[in-house]
């Protein structure tokens, strides 16, 4: 677990991110008490519960967040729960939701049990030595737009648009064939996707399967730039957009329509309009949806000009109309 951190005087909101693969056939029993506890502690965010475990990001007053974490660890299935902390001067979420799902990260392969089938953890300190082995097949399990921003030297990009497409790619590459034994190392942003990916490989009979413990974020936090095999920046699913070594905020911007990082040259493209579209999503939304997005952008600018008491992050976090057309709704 990343130990509790101390906030600067102007940072009032603690964010805790965590996941745990654990057999949880009775996951629904935790929904109501967890929702009630979070609301009582003024904690907001999203918790996903599924038969394979828990996945969440929550934020609020430090005491409230730590109370929720302590309650979770007092429940036998979550005793081993680890979390990562960060601080903000704005509330990252406006509501609290606890949802029951089929999977805490969607792959669409029934019968997987990552809690017992996942590959071997490799620490950030030992990762370089593993991936320097010429016999190791290194696979980036993230989506194509994430890989665009950066990856490990020598990693294979599956070119997928969603995690659910990874099994078919692995099958096409012959990586699910135990008759062709090979060492496979996988990685993702924080660990959850590569943990499930290695479980798929091991379920198919592959024995030498590894994944980066704590994901890319732990590697960038731990490994010095001069020793690093990471090139570029790492996309993150928050207002920072990307991070570099030392987990410092990176240089990339986000398209507020498709929620993906702006591709190279986007700001000079005729298809880029602030808050409305970028070259990735321009052809995926109608003019009516673009007009709706323009109105949302005008609201943002008015609030900014008037220093509205409503946080600007509220507008950024809302799903605008064109999001629905792209499957984010």
Q: What CATH number has the domain bearing residue 92? A: 3.30.70.100
Q: What is the arithmetic mean of pLDDT over 171-185?
A: 90
Question: 121 and 198: one domain?
Answer: yes
Determine the Cα–Cα distance for residues 90 and 36; give it in Å rounded to an integer.
23
**Do 104 and 54 meet the contact criterion of CB atoms below 8 Å apart?**
yes
- Residue 283's domain comprises 266-325
How confident is the model over 234-246, as pLDDT tens digits? 998 777 788 899 8
Read off the pLDDT band of 260 (50, 70, 90): confident
Asked whether residue 244 is assigned to any structural domain, the reply reads no
% of the chain beyond a pLDDT of 70: 89
Phi and psi for 185 in degrees, rounded to 5? -120, 135
Determine the Cα–Cα distance for residues 23 and 26; give it in Å rounded to an integer.
9
Count up the domains in the chain and report the number.
3
Question: 148 and 53: one domain?
Answer: no
pLDDT of 241 reads 83
The residue among 196 and 328 whose pLDDT is bigger is: 196
Instruction: Determine which of 31-40, 61-70, 123-132, 258-267 has the lowest per-residue pLDDT on average.
Output: 258-267
Which residues are within 8 A (CB) of 20 and not within 5 positions of it... i.e. 6 or more apart? Answer: 53, 54, 78, 80, 81, 82
Asked whether residue 285 is assigned to any structural domain, the reply reads yes
Residue 326 has pLDDT above 50, yes or no: no
Question: 142 and 45: one domain?
Answer: no
How confident is the model over 213-240, as pLDDT tens digits? 999 999 999 999 999 999 999 998 777 7
Asked whether residue 123 is assigned to any structural domain, the reply reads yes
**Do 103 and 26 meet the contact criterion of CB atoms below 8 Å apart?**
no
Question: 89 and 23: one domain?
Answer: yes
Asked whether residue 246 is assigned to any structural domain, the reply reads no
Q: How far is CA 287 from CA 218, 271, 284, 326, 327, in A?
A: 42, 13, 10, 14, 17
pLDDT of 247 reads 82
Whether this prediction's pTM lies above 0.85 is answered by: no
Determine the Cα–Cα distance for residues 198 and 262; give it in Å rounded to an integer.
30
Determine the Cα–Cα distance for residues 254 and 274; give it in Å rounded to an integer.
10
Determine the Cα–Cα distance for residues 18 and 1; give it in Å rounded to an integer.
9
Phi and psi for 14 in degrees, rounded to 5? -95, 130
Determine the Cα–Cα distance for residues 22 and 92; give it in Å rounded to an integer.
27
Residue 310 has pLDDT above 60, yes or no: no
Question: 70 and 154: one domain?
Answer: no
pLDDT of 93 reads 86
Read off the pLDDT band of 309 (50, 70, 90): very low
Q: Catalytic residues, which ones?
A: 188
Question: 129 and 220: one domain?
Answer: yes
Residue 161 burial by Cβ neighbours in a 10 Å radius (0-12, 13-18, 19+):
exposed
Residue 322 has pLDDT above 80, yes or no: no
82 is written with which tokens?
Answer: 């680890």
If you average pLDDT over every residue of the chain, what do you get? 87
Catalogue the long-range contacts made by 28-34 (C-beta closer than 8 Å, 24 or more residues apart): 28/100, 30/75, 30/98, 31/98, 31/99, 31/100, 34/68, 34/71, 34/72, 34/98
Residue the block writes with tokens 């490799």? 122
């Amino acid at each position: 677990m990343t130990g509790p951190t101390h906030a600067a005087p102007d940072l009032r909101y603690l964010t805790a991110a965590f996941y745990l693969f654990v057999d949880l056939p009775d996951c629904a029993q935790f929904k109501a008490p967890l929702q009630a506890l979070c609301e009582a502690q003024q904690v907001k965010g999203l918790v996903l519960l599924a038969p394979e475990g828990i996945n969440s990001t929550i934020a609020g007053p430090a005491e409230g967040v730590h109370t929720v974490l302590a309650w979770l660890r007092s429940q036998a299935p979550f005793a081993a729960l680890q979390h990562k902390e960060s601080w903000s001067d704005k509330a990252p979420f406006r509501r609290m939701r606890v949802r029951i799902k089929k999977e805490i990260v969607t792959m669409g392969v029934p019968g997987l049990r990552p809690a017992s089938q996942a590959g071997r953890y490799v620490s950030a300190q030992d990762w370089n030595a593993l991936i320097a082995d010429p016999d190791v097949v290194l696979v980036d399990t993230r989506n194509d737009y994430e890989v665009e921003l950066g990856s490990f030297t020598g990693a294979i990009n599956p070119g997928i648009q969603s995690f659910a497409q990874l099994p078919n790619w692995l099958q096409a590459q012959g990586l699910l064939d135990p008759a062709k034994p090979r060492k496979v190392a996988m990685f993702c942003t924080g660990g959850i996707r590569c943990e499930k990916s290695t479980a798929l490989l091991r379920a198919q009979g592959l024995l030498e399967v590894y994944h980066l413990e704590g994901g890319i974020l732990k590697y960038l936090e731990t490994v010095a730039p001069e020793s690093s095999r990471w090139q570029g920046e790492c996309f993150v699913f928050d207002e920072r957009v990307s991070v570099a070594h030392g987990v410092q905020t990176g240089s990339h911007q986000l398209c507020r329509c498709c929620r993906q990082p702006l591709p190279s040259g986007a700001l000079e493209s005729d298809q880029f309009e602030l808050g409305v579209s970028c070259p990735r999503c321009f052809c995926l939304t109608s003019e009516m949806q673009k007009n709706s997005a323009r109105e949302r952008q005008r609201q943002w600018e008015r609030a900014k000009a008037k220093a509205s008491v409503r946080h600007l992050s509220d507008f950024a976090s809302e799903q605008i109309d064109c999001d629905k057309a792209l499957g984010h709704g």
